[in-house]
Amino acid sequence: MEIIVTEEAEKKIKAKRSGKNSSHLKLKYDTEGCGCVVSGVAALWLVNELEDDDHEIHTNIGSIYIEKSKEVFFEETMTIAFSEKANCFQLKSPNQYLNPRMSLYDRTDS
């Protein structure tokens, strides 16, 4: 799997991570409140601890983790971008937008 992070998205991620050197960035397939595992939505999470199922993906900005069991919901090649106009992250592949309004949640204090 290949994930490319645009320069704009990298700046926003770094700003959110400021002062949280030990945090990990996860591309989470979030199913909470969706009712069904296939109805999930992609989101970025900052977390302190990794789960046993987390798989490391090396990117142009460092490591991003994805739950191995949820990789099936993602594409082989993806880009994480940031839209200033919409003020949100976007997850896209060469074929489609996987989430055109993706959020970054700080789960380090939870």
Give pLDDT tens digits for 85-99. 999 999 999 999 999
More confident residue, 61 or 109: 61
| Res 33: pLDDT | 56
Residue 51 confidence (pLDDT) above 80? yes
Check residue 73 and report its DSSP letter: G
| Per-residue pLDDT tens digits for 39-49 | 678 999 999 99
Residue 13 neighbours by CB under 8 Å, 6+ apart = 5, 25, 44, 61, 104
